Amino acid sequence: MIYIFPFLLGMTLSLLGQLPLGTISLTATQISLQENFRSAWQYSIGVALVEMIYLRAVLAGMRWITRHQFIFNIFNWLAVLFFLLLGVLSFVAARRLEKKDQKTLILRTRLHRFFLGMGMSALNPAQIPFWFIWSAYFLNMGWLRLAPYSFNLFTLGSGLGTVGGLAIYMYGGNWMVSQMKTSNRTLNTLVGIIFVVAALVQLVRMARS
């Protein structure tokens, strides 16, 4: 039990963290709908890999991270610019879409879906304070031990939880969009709204910090 508990803890927290609708989860739905599930799984694994790297870095250097706030600021501004750019371009693409089977903006890139997932996850700095806060809480509660095996199991569990959460969007979102017969123009508009909202939320967080 001492070995399985950190794994289950990381998996549960990461799975729940993926459930709220966001840019990463919606992109998983888009890929499964407009391409195939294999590409969506590749994308999800890329997302999970970067998240595991961030989490392991947080666990290994909590004190160092808190002393270098400028790292957060750099990633925050990159995320704001990235989300705003994709939001605007998604709105433009929605206006120009004529064919129903055209891919949405973010999927027109030839970038391998695994690396697309890694890139989008890397530009999501909100996960760093998320894991920092929860990891510190679990350590204080004694649920997570200051030991390599505990950190490693917690990290592996988080990766599986992330993939599981995205799988819900891959299959559940695919089914829902298919039932609603949503057009790609509508998807582009929805993606644009989510990207712009994500950018605004990021700006508000930066203003309050």
Q: Are 183 and 100 in contact (CB under 8 A)?
A: yes
pLDDT of 153: 93
Residues in the chain with pLDDT < 50? 100-101
| Alpha carbon distance 197, 200 (integer Å) | 5
Residue 123 is predicted with a pLDDT of 82
Tokens of 120: 């989008």
Q: How much is the pLDDT for 41?
A: 95
pLDDT value of residue 34? 80
pLDDT digits (tens, 9 = 90+) for 150-160: 889 999 999 99
32: left (phi over 0), alpha (psi -120 to 50) or beta: alpha
pLDDT for res 65: 56
Q: Which two tokens stand for residue 14?
A: 């990461």
What pLDDT is recorded for position 64? 65
CA 139 to chain centre: 24
Domain ranges in the chain are 4-208
